[in-house]
Structure 1
Amino acid sequence: MKRVRYPAEFKAEAVKQVTERGHGVVDVAKRLGMSDKSLYLWVRLAKEQSGVGTGENAALKAEVSRLKAELKRANEERDNLKKGRHVLCQAVRVKYVFMAEHKDQFHLLSMCRALRVQRSGYYAWKKKPKSKLTLADESLLVKIKQSFEESQSIYGSPRVHCDLREDGVLCGEKRIARLMRQANLRSVRGYKRPRFRVGMPATTAPNRLQREFTVALPDQVWVTDITYIRTHEGWLYLTVVIDLYSRAVVGWSMNSTMATELVLDALMMAVWRRRPKTPVMIHSDQGSQFGSDDFNRWCKDNHLVPSMSRRGNCWDNAVAEFFFSSLKKERIKRHIYVTRQDAKSDVFDYIEGFYNRVRRHSHLDQLSPLAFEQLRTGS
């Protein structure tokens, strides 16, 4: 067989069919009508001749690969920071929890770099994820939630601390506050404080109380006031009589009208319940019900000595105002009453079932009014 001499250009184009276009050596040789062994030889020689350029291309490809890997890592760490930004300033164990929850989404090493924790620490946490303190906090939180729910979700950390202390649980108030904050257990908040206004003294009765709200004995000074409660049927008016000694509500009355009889009914309940043996000072604001002739004659017949705040000065009757504030923020603002009877039943439950018997009062060393009276008087 006669040996064929192929020109250099033919050889170069045949090699390009294999190296650049990706065709197989056998297919190219068959199409060109030549021996596949010769084509294999040409391809090998071409690769050997371009050895220097191949090395440069390989270095360039390696650099591109390295840059792509760095970009991928940077993007992953950026995504880590987006999702885990709320744990960046948290404790290490909080970061470990985040890593465990997102281990299928991000690489572990990438999360360790982004959150600045050690991988060995994460594996150690996986074996024992909860410390003794964490377990103790979880056990304490169960008792905190029980106290919080029994208070109808109004107690803050000071009163919850008193409940736990009575049950024999030894812990600090700051620890309870921290756990309540983490569990989003919030005590109820009050309304804005009223602006102070200077008022004129009453002409019907002088201000005998003079803001002396601390009393040594029961049934010496009572305070009274009226408030209103919204229902779908209309306003419901409430009058209370509070003994300054124990802050107990000793008399109350509710009606759809704000007449003098509303006040007299509350006073009648207080006198019937307490049966005071000596004259009692009864302090009120300058409402028309408390300045009426019927009110003054009733007080005189039942040995009550009227006292009145200055006009428009709520601080002179702060105890009664504080009770109404507690009633509204702890009970009324949580409900929408359809009828007046619904409101009456709920307010009755708050006064007689909760406030007088259960609710802790900061003025009484965190005791309820009834417990305070039983402790002091032994009754």
Structure 2
Amino acid sequence: MGQQTGGKKLYDHLKKDMKNQNIKMGRDKFLIFLKNHNLLVKRNKNYHITTNSKHHFFKYKNLVKDKLPTRAEQLWVTDITYIKTEKGHNYLALVTDAYSKQIMGYQLSNHMRTELCLNALKMALNNRKYPNEKLIHHSDRGIQYCNPAYTQFAEKNNLTISMTEQYDPYENAVAERINKTLKYEYGLKQTIKNTNLAQKMTKKAIFTYNNFRTHWSLNLSTPKMAHLKQNIDYKSYRKNNNKLEFLTI
């Protein structure tokens, strides 16, 4: 399965070519055209639970609720999603920069042990561009992220830990959106033959996502460009949701 792109973004990419071909079609008509020809990205509401928060490890407070980051490497969000293979479920741990939407670290394996998330975090730390800046690490209250082996490593590397305060995927909306993007736009939703192939597909998907996928929220920059240039305009965010505040750390 190749890369899939949302209809509005596809229209933005194609409108110049359509104009050159004298094709007169507005965005709404273009979306109707895609729908009538079954070309819209399909959404699947089924999900697989990857969070076990019923444990006795210490749970940290939510430091970032309703707050927007103002620079790269100010806030990292983490999550685990599942990848289906013919041999059973695999699990993908991600560490994403909430400002630039760049995936900083990841790990895919056939288990959900703490080392899965720990390896993703180690990769993210190795990929930092601004190592002297203060950084918040935000996650759900899953046992992997609350495990002292994980939290102690994070704090040893000068990360301030923050966690969701209830099981609600919308509290970690950035991470949830990245999961869906990788699955629905880059082929990771399909059932893959085995773990080895899933790892190769994941590596390619994340490289393509970081370097070539543009975002409306990034002024149509790619995550890599936004991470380096830090050029996000937050006017639309504040206009649509006046409850949001800027994160200060």
In which range does the TM-score fall when normalised by the shorter chain? 0.7 to 0.9
C-alpha distance in structure 2 between counterparts of 1:210 and 1:222, whole Å: 13
1:225-246 deviations in Å (ceiling 9; x for gaps): 1111111122211100010111
Runs of 4+ in 1 over 4 A off after TM superposition: 165-174
Q: Please, which runs of 5 or more residues in structure 2 have no aligned partner?
A: 48-52, 232-249
2:3 corresponding residue in structure 1: 152
Q: Paired residue for 2:86?
A: 232
Specify the alignment match of 1:210 in structure 2: 65
Rounded to whole Å, the distance in 1 between the matches of 2:80 and 2:125 is: 18
CA distance in 2, matches of 1:173, 1:361: 25
Greater helix percent: which structure? 1
Worse overlay, 333-342 or 282-291: 333-342
Matched, 1:357 2:207: no
Q: Answer yes or no: is the 8 Å Cα contact 2:71–2:230 preserved in 1.
A: no
**Contact 1:242 1:250 (8 Å CA) reproduced:** yes
Structure 1 Cα separation of the partners of residues 58 and 29 of structure 2: 52
Q: Normalization by structure 1: what TM-score?
A: 0.52
Q: Compared with structure 1, are the counterparts of its residues 163 and 274 closer, same or farther at alpha carbon in structure 2 (3 Å cutoff)?
A: same
> Which residue of structure 1 lines up, in the alignment, with residue 111 of structure 2?
257
Q: How large is the Cα RMSD of the aligned pairs?
A: 3.1
**Counterpart in 2 of 1:299?**
154
TM-score, reference length from structure 2? 0.77
Between 276-285 and 360-369, report the one with greater CA deviation: 360-369
Is the 8 Å Cα contact of residues 285 and 317 (structure 1) preserved in structure 2? yes
**What residue is the counterpart of 2:136 in the other structure?**
281
In the TM superposition, what is the alpha-carbon distance from 1:335 to its structure 2 partner?
2.8
Q: Give the secondary-structure state (helix, strand or coil) at the position aligned to 1:257.
A: coil
Gaps of 5+ in 1: 1-148
Aligned partner letter, 2:84: R
Distance 2:122 2:146 in 1: 17
Q: Give, in whole Å, the separation in 2 of the partners of 1:361 and 1:185.
A: 23
Q: CA deviation at 1:270?
A: 0.8
For 2:133 and 2:188, how far apart are their aligned partners in 1?
A: 39
Helix, strand or coil for the counterpart of 1:235?
strand
The residue number in structure 2 matching 1:190 is 43
Of 172, 190, 201, the match for 1:317: 172
Instruction: Output aligned runs, 1:148-187, within 5 Å.
Output: 152-156=3-7, 158-164=8-14, 175-179=26-30, 181-182=32-33, 184=37, 186-187=39-40
Change (3 A) 1:333 1:374: closer
Residues matched between the structures, number: 220
| Identity between Structure 1 and Structure 2 (%) | 28
Contact 1:211 1:317 in 2 (8 A): no
Q: How far apart are 1:328 and its partner, in Å?
A: 2.1
In terms of fraction of residues, the more strand-rich structure is 2
**8 Å contact 1:224–1:239 — kept in the other structure?**
yes
Q: Where in structure 2 are the equivalents of 1:5-24 lying within 5 Å?
A: none
